[in-house]
Structure 1
Amino acid sequence: MNRRVLQRATFVATAAVRQPLRAAPRRRMATFEQRSHDRNQFGLLSPASFGILVLTGVGLYLYFEHKREEIRQKKIEMLKKQNTKFGKAAVGGPFNLITQNGVPFTEQDLLGKWSLVYFGFTNCPDICPDELDKMSTVVDTIDARNGPAVQPIFISCDPARDSNNAIREYLKDFHPRMVGLTGTYENVKATCKAYRVYFSTPPNVKPGDDYIVDHSIYFYLMDPNGEFVDAFGKDRDAAFVIARIEQAVKEHGEGKKNYVEL
């Protein structure tokens, strides 16, 4: 009996010592797994956190694009208030460029017709094609309503790449009546300055280089006297532009001079 009691006590004591030894690796493993989990939690974003980060980025992008458009709209409103002594906004003036067919074209060629003038470049990925499509819609709609023939004009602000041939090929996708203009850098710069158009190209560019031209995005409506009437940003749809042109044509026929007022 005493021997069995002694054996039992010895077994219990031995088991008590072995149990922590067997548990220790499990605790170490659990601790390692917990640390790995913690590192995964803090080292990598969860799907919810990643979604919030993406939404924040998109929100900031849209905010700054909105503010940029606000600045552009304020600039055009300032142009409308910068009147000359004749009461017209100081937009437009003498220029000397070349058409896509190599024919000289100046401000005198605007006389006797209504014109929509747009500044862009043929390598523009999306905005310029969209705006020229909108211009074509405006011109075709006014034609269909038996309004005055509106002359669509595209002026390149990327003379380093936009040769006569490049513009001629580019304009095949747009209105058949559209006139494309280019010229030397100095002549293009002077034309942009006359129309209060901002444009910027990277320094030291070459004809074969791949780059984007930052520029103002407006249609400029000019009356048959070659005078500025109004400007339309990319936020104005074709219906708005058509209505405004028809209003301006009516005012012009009545001899009114308040063209720049919306």
Structure 2
Amino acid sequence: MGSKTPGYHSTITILSGLATLVAAGLLLFPGCRAEPPPPPQIDIPELLDYGERFGGDFMLTDQDGERFDLSEHRGDAFLIFFGYTYCPDACPLMLSKLAAVYDVLDLEPGQRVRTIYVTVDPRRDTPKQLGDYLAYFSTVDVRGLTGSREEIDAVAERYGVLYKLQQPNEAGHYLVAHTTTLFLVDREGRLRYRFHPSDTPEYIAAGIKLLFE
């Protein structure tokens, strides 16, 4: 009565031995418990050269009513996004992400990347409408561009952007389904990368940095 079986003693001995080894390991390597995990690796995009197939220069009207010609801005890199000011989701999210991109982007003096917001809804997005809308995103230096339907269609086609006006509701309000790609244009005006909306600010910033290497 009250005696322990041999198996019981064996189990105690094994557990005691394991505890001793663990304790010894913690004494030998005291930093193991508190060592933080390594920082996540940031993938770096591989820049492409689309040649004459996509991208290229264009001329539109900015939010100040001035004509903007991309060919006059050699030496600056550009992020180009197509959207519209009545967009309820993708466009505000992208503009917020661009603010985060500029927060993590570390460029040398003289290196500059600018952001262009091309409307796909020129009927409603007048220069004044673009200016009022972009003022809400003052942390990002964005130039809004509009033009005639024919001008917008020509630029959208060059960049492979698709958009479609949806059926208006009873109040006449309508949405526009559109491509949400972010385009990276180098200092010579060449399209070099197309970022997906899910790409992180760090990934986008890494791609921009490659243009200045």
Normalization by structure 1: what TM-score?
0.57
Deviation per CA, 1:149-184: give whole Å up to 9, x if none: 210110101001101011000101224521000011
Contact 1:139 1:149 in 2 (8 A): no
CA contact (8 A) 2:146 2:152 kept: yes
Query: Does the CA contact (< 8 Å) of 1:139 and 1:150 recur in 2?
Result: no
Q: Give, in whole Å, the separation in 2 of the partners of 1:246 and 1:145.
A: 7
Return structure 1 stretches of 4+ with deviation > 3 angstroms. 144-147
Cross-structure match for 1:56: none
Cross-structure match for 1:53: none
Q: Which amino acid aligns with 2:152?
A: V
Using the TM superposition, give the Cα deviation of residue 102 of structure 1 relative to its aligned residue in structure 2, in angstroms. Answer: 0.2
Say whether 1:149 aligns with 2:107: no
CA distance in 1, matches of 2:133, 2:123: 15
Which structure has the larger Rg? 1
Residue type of the alignment partner of 2:155: T
Structure 1 contact 113–149 (Cα < 8 Å) conserved: yes
Structure 1 residue corresponding to 2:159, chosen from 195, 203, 226: 195
Q: Deviations over 1:203-222 (max 9, x none)?
A: 7x7xx831111111111100
Match of residue 117, structure 1, among 73, 77, 80: 80
- Whole-Å separation in 2 of the counterparts to 1:140 and 1:171: 18
Q: State percent identity of aligned pairs.
A: 29
State the alpha-carbon separation in 1 of the partners of residues 122 and 147 from structure 2: 6
Residue among 74, 94, 109 paired with 2:57: 94
Cα 1:243–1:176 shift into 2, 3 Å? closer
Q: Which has the higher contact order (CA 8 A, sep 6+)?
A: 2
* 1:132 counterpart SS class: helix
Select the residue among 177, 184, 192 that pairs with 1:214: 177
Tell me the distance in 2 between the aligned counterparts of 1:201 and 1:95: 23
Q: 1:231 aligns to what? A: 194
Of the three residues 155, 170, 195, the one matched with 2:133 is 170
Gaps of 5+ in 2: 1-47
Moved more, 91-100 or 120-129: 91-100
The alignment covers a number of residue pairs equal to: 163
Query: TM-score, normalised to structure 2's length?
Result: 0.70
What is the CA–CA distance in structure 2 between the aligned matches of 1:226 and 1:178, rounded to whole Å? 17
Equivalent in 201, 209, 212 of residue 246 of structure 1 = 209
Mapped partners of 1:146, 1:173: distance in 2: 28
| Structure 1 alignment gaps of length 5 or more | 1-79, 251-262
Amino acid at match of 1:195: Y
**Cα offset, 1:89, TM superposition:** 6.2
Deviation at 1:145, TM superposition (A): 4.6
Structure-1 separation of matches of 2:200 and 2:126? 30
- Residue 185 (structure 1) aligned with residue 185 (structure 2): no
SS of the equivalent of 1:249 reads coil
Work out the CA distance in 2 between the residues paired with 1:140 and 1:233.
Answer: 19
Amino acid at match of 2:104: T
